[in-house]
Amino acid sequence: MSQLKWYVVRAIASKEKKAKTYLENEIAKREFHEHVPQVLIPSEKVYEMRNGKKRLREKSFFPGYIMVQANLEKDNPTTGELIHMITSIPGIIGFLGATGSTSKDPVALRQSEVNRILGKVDESAEDDVKLETTFIVGETVKVIDGPFNGFTGTVEEVFEERQKINVMVKIFGRNTPVELNYSQVEKQE
């Protein structure tokens, strides 16, 4: 099991999940679990606002790429068959080569790269789900939650790291600054 390394496989963009499912089914059918124990699409869960409703979706860190943990060393007698199986899956283009191009020959990721990517995946699983919306100073937003529900205002400041914004809301004819979470406002169209 010490021969297991991580490899990056290029897939057709937005077809990663389907290609991953095909690959996992083929691994199960050929009973290659010991040679390919994990197939992973690095992603995070994010909220996005659509038509005033908060929707949860999964966002890929690296669109068009799938990570595969496999034993593809030269001394493994099934290496050739594994490489052929992986590259012949519908939706998979090939392995990511050393120069960033597509290659039929797999190049293993360095352990530091794997730790960074997998650490990012673990971190996103532990953290609260993020709201994927960017606000710009000066744009008009509508408050959809909280005590100022129904008011509209102008974005004065954006705090991306805290996912909050300062909005100038007109209350009783006076402009009043209000700090709100991203999830409490939506962009005015």
Q: Which domain holds residue 64?
A: 5-131
Q: Is residue 109 located within the same domain as residue 173?
A: no
Instruction: Work out the pLDDT band at 123, boundaries 50, 70, 90.
Output: low
Instruction: Work out the pLDDT band at 156, boundaries 50, 70, 90.
Output: very high
Average pLDDT over residues 80-85: 92
Taking the model in full, what pTM does it have? 0.63
Domains contained in the chain, number: 2
Boundary of a domain, candidates 91, 111, 131: 131
CA atoms of 183 and 187, how far apart (whole Å): 11
CA atoms of 82 and 92, how far apart (whole Å): 14
**DSSP single-letter state for residue 129:** P
Q: Is residue 102 located within the same domain as residue 150?
A: no
Beta bridge partners of 131: 47
CATH number of the domain that residue 165 is part of: 2.30.30.30
What pLDDT, on the 0 to 100 scale, is given for residue 31?
Answer: 92
Q: Which residues contact 141 (CB under 8 A, 6 or more apart)?
A: 135, 152, 153, 154, 155, 165, 167, 185, 186, 187, 188
Q: Is residue 88 located within the same domain as residue 157?
A: no
Average pLDDT over residues 60-80: 89
Q: Is residue 153 located within the same domain as residue 101?
A: no
What pLDDT, on the 0 to 100 scale, is given for residue 7?
Answer: 93
Strand pairing class (5-11; 53-60): unpaired
What pLDDT, on the 0 to 100 scale, is given for residue 68?
Answer: 95
CA atoms of 152 and 187, how far apart (whole Å): 10
Boundary of a domain, candidates 131, 163, 179: 131
Q: Which residues contact 24 (CB under 8 A, 6 or more apart)?
A: 39
What mean pLDDT value characterizes the chain?
85
Distances (CA, A) of 118 to 16, 67, 110, 143: 17, 10, 12, 36
Q: Is residue 146 located within the same domain as residue 123?
A: no
What pLDDT, on the 0 to 100 scale, is given for residue 66?
Answer: 93
Q: Which of 59, 74, 62 is nearest to 8 (CA)?
A: 62
